[in-house]
Amino acid sequence: MLAPFGRTAGLESCSELRHALLAHPNPVVSVRARVLAAIGEPLTWMLLLGGLFFALDRAWRAPDARRVVVDAAVVRALELDHARRVGKPPTAREREQAIERWIDEEVRVREAERLGLARGDVIVRRRLVQKVDIVLDETTRLDPHAPPRVVPVERVTVEHVFLSRARPSVDSDAQAVLAALRQGREPGSLGDPFPHGGRLAERTETELGAVLGGAARELWRQRDGEWHGPLAGAAGVHVARVVTRAIRDEPAPGVPDQDAARRAAIARLRAGYVVEVRR
């Protein structure tokens, strides 16, 4: 009964093995011949090699995942933390106790990561975000020694008296106010209430225009220190004067600050992810 299998074991091609399976229905011969036929298939070797590589990869990574290394940097950090809390360097015994506590913490942290305990925890999530922000700030910190890019900016301080268009004779009233101011009357005792007050300090032409409307453009061209009016604004007329005018260097618009640098770094991180919003 085994003689035919002896001849089958000596065959050199898969086709011959298949013929042997058909020629010998004996169960022992059939099973062994099928094994030999499978060994001759390329797919079988691909599966075997894939399994071998997977096992080697797991064996290579496993020791590192289970190894806790307490190097000089860890010890130094523990010493500094002890000195910060206690006010003096640790003794040898205190150093060893700190190392043992750190090892216990590290083991528990790794177990928490392995079990996925951090997922879904809002407090852990926020703390991780804070730590990443610290890293981003360190890597994107602007050079404090770099000279800032500045541009000259002209600013004025203005005093004015506002007269509402609800007055039936607003233009003649404005002329009377102008005469009173040129004679030395205090502006606070004249006119109607104005939402932004009677003194507008350190405004650019654009900022002044946002408050006084068209009156700002006309006032900007007048002689400083003198009362001018009536100047037509958005809600009424103004009698106004420029008290001070100065040109100084200010940071140029668009110069990035640290917050802008962090936002740019976060945008670069997001670009490396595929984001799906499922509602």
Residue 266 pLDDT: 85
CA angle 77, 82, 84 (to 5 degrees): 95
Evaluate whether residue 127 is within a structural domain: no
16 inside domain? yes
How many other CB atoms sit within 10 Å of the CB of residue 8?
Answer: 21
Q: Say if CB 188 and CB 181 are below 8 A apart.
A: no
Tell me the C-alpha distance between 140 and 262, whole Å.
Answer: 7
Dihedral (CA of 72, 77, 80, 81) sign: negative
pLDDT band at 9 (very low <50, low <70, confident <90, very high): very low
73 within a domain of the structure (yes/no): no
81-121: pLDDT as tens digits: 898 888 899 999 999 999 999 998 888 888 888 888 878 78
Closest Cα to residue 230, out of 219, 220, 238? 238
The pTM of this model reads 0.40
Q: Reduce the DSSP state of residue 155 to 3 states and report it.
A: strand
The pLDDT assigned to 118 comes to: 78
Q: Is the pLDDT of residue 2 over 60?
A: no
**Residue where a domain stops, chosen among 62, 91, 110:** 62
Q: Is 256 within the bounds of a domain?
A: no
Taking 70 as the threshold, does the pLDDT of residue 278 lie above it? Answer: yes
Contact 17, 8 (CB under 8 A): yes
SS3 content of the chain, % helix, strand, coil (to 5): 55, 15, 30
CB-CB contact of 213 with 234 (8 Å): yes
Q: Say what the pLDDT of residue 58 is.
A: 55
The model's pLDDT over 44-89, given as tens digits with 9 standing for 90+, comes to 556 666 666 556 555 555 456 678 888 999 899 899 989 888 889 9
Which helix or strand (DSSP H or E) is residue 208 part of?
helix 205-212
- Find where tokens 């289970």 sit: 66
Two tokens at 80?
Answer: 């500094």
Distance, CA of 112 to CA of 204 (rounded, Å) = 57
- pLDDT bucket at 30, cuts 50 / 70 / 90: low
- Domain holding 207: CATH number? 3.10.50.40
Encoded tokens for 250: 């200010």
> For residue 23, what pLDDT band results from cuts at 50, 70 and 90?
low
Predicted local distance difference test score (pLDDT) of residue 45? 55
pLDDT surpassing 50 at residue 19: yes
Write down the pLDDT at residue 117: 82
Q: Are strands 228-232 and 236-251 parallel, antiparallel or unpaired?
A: antiparallel
Instruction: Give pLDDT, residue 76.
Output: 92
Per the structure, how many domains does the chain have?
Answer: 2
* Residue 121 domain-assigned (yes or no): no
What is the chain's mean pLDDT, rounded? 78
pLDDT of 160 reads 93
User: Tens digit of pLDDT for each residue in 214-251?
Assistant: 888 888 988 889 999 899 888 889 999 999 999 988 87
pLDDT the model gives residue 271: 86
Please tell me the distance from the alpha carbon of residue 264 to that of residue 132, in angstroms, as a whole number: 14
Question: Across 111-235, where does the E strand assignment appear?
Answer: 150-164, 199-203, 228-232
Give the angle 112-115-117 at the CA atoms, nearest 5°: 60
Counting runs of H as helices and runs of E as strands, what totals does the chain give?
11, 4
Residue 135 pLDDT > 80, yes or no?
Answer: yes
Report if residue 54 sits inside a domain: yes
* Residues 5-18, mean pLDDT to the nearest whole number: 46
Question: pLDDT: is 199 or 142 the higher one?
Answer: 199
pLDDT at 149 over 90: no
pLDDT of residue 142 exceeding 80: no
Pick the more confident residue, 15 or 176: 176
pLDDT at position 28? 47
Domain boundaries, position 215: 150-251
For residue 189, being part of any structural domain is answered with: yes
In a domain, 268, yes or no: no
- Kindly tell me if the per-residue pLDDT of 267 is higher than 60: yes
- pLDDT for the residue 245: 92
